Structure 1
Amino acid sequence: MKFFKIVFGLLFMLFAYFQFNDPDSTVWIFTYSAAALACYMSVNNLWPSWVFYVLAAGYLVAAIFQWPPQFEGIFFGEAQMRSINIEEARESLGLLICCVAMVILGKWGIPKIED
């Protein structure tokens, strides 16, 4: 499980790095940095599981609101952005990845205290 936490923490840091050229980069850098921080906190067992569930709920709500009005996929071949719907679908997918990671951290990331 520690491997999962480290890999996803690094992945979220990479996601945050890729947002520097985005027009709304501050929002997305904070979003992915918070997910990376959560992975770090889980590696060190510093947060209880309910914190990860609250984060997961927040990411899920954000993903639902971010979903484009018309889904056109997430891939395109041109160098320019063909449609804002593609960008919103990608952002929504990123939020869903954060949500799934937080659920996993909340469910299996915290060691159980044995009596």
Structure 2
Amino acid sequence: MKIFNVVFCVLFVLFAALQWNDPDPYIWVPIYLYGAIFCALAVTGRYYKGWYLFGIVACLVYAVTLFFAKDGVLSWMTEHHAENIAGSMKAEKPWIEDTREFFGLFIIVLVLLINFVNAGQKRAKKMRKKMMKIK
């Protein structure tokens, strides 16, 4: 898990740095840094399940908003036939930006969810060890 969290910590910091030229860096830099901070904390063995849950819920709410937005992911899939989102972003194609942002949120949710589950497993293992010592 340490390697997983180091890799995603570095990736999230890089993703945050790439947002400076985005039209809304004030939204995306904090979102990616949130993921980076909690990956860094997990590397040191500190897990905060409540904060993972908060991040998961917040990102999911934003992702659902992007999915159903006028030029969102649903529009990209149905009206624009899931065209390539890896090309350059053009102002006349806002569905590409929303779709990229949606998948960015999906990655953050996935990483936070993995750490949330891992934190629960670590807590359960610690409790089992305590119970064995008591007996």
| TM beyond 0.5 | yes
Q: CA offset at residue 52 of structure 1?
A: 1.1
The structure 1 segments of at least 4 consecutive aligned residues displaced by more than 4 Å after TM superposition are 76-79
Tell me the distance in 2 between the aligned counterparts of 1:97 and 1:27.
Answer: 16
Compared CA separation, residues 76 and 9, structure 1 to 2 (3 A): closer
> Is 1:102 aligned to residue 112 of structure 2?
yes
Q: CA offset at residue 44 of structure 1?
A: 1.7
Which residues of 2 match residues 1-115 of structure 1 at below 5 A?
Answer: 1-67=1-67, 68=72, 70-71=75-76, 72=80, 73=82, 74-75=84-85, 77=87, 80-109=90-119, 111-112=122-123, 113=126, 114-115=129-130
How many aligned positions are there?
115
TM-score with structure 2 setting the length: 0.75
Q: Superposition RMSD on alpha carbons, in Å? A: 2.0
Compared CA separation, residues 35 and 76, structure 1 to 2 (3 A): closer
% identical equivalent positions: 28
CA deviation string 1:63-110 (max 9, x = no partner): 111220511435254574550001000001100110000000111156
Tell me the distance in 2 between the aligned counterparts of 1:104 and 1:30.
Answer: 20
Comparing 77-86 with 91-100, greater Cα deviation is found at 77-86
Contact 2:89 2:96 in 1 (8 A): no
- Which sections of structure 2, spanning at least 5 residues, go unmatched? 131-135
TM-score with structure 1 setting the length: 0.87
Compared CA separation, residues 82 and 76, structure 1 to 2 (3 A): farther
Q: CA offset at residue 30 of structure 1?
A: 0.8
Tell me the distance in 1 between the aligned counterparts of 2:13 and 2:59.
Answer: 16
Tell me the distance in 2 between the aligned counterparts of 1:21 and 1:43.
Answer: 29
Larger RCO of the pair (alpha carbons < 8 Å, separation 6+): 1
Structure with max Cα Rg = 2
Contact 1:13 1:33 in 2 (8 A): yes
Comparing 92-101 with 72-81, greater Cα deviation is found at 72-81
More helix by share: 2
- Which sections of structure 1, spanning at least 5 residues, go unmatched? none
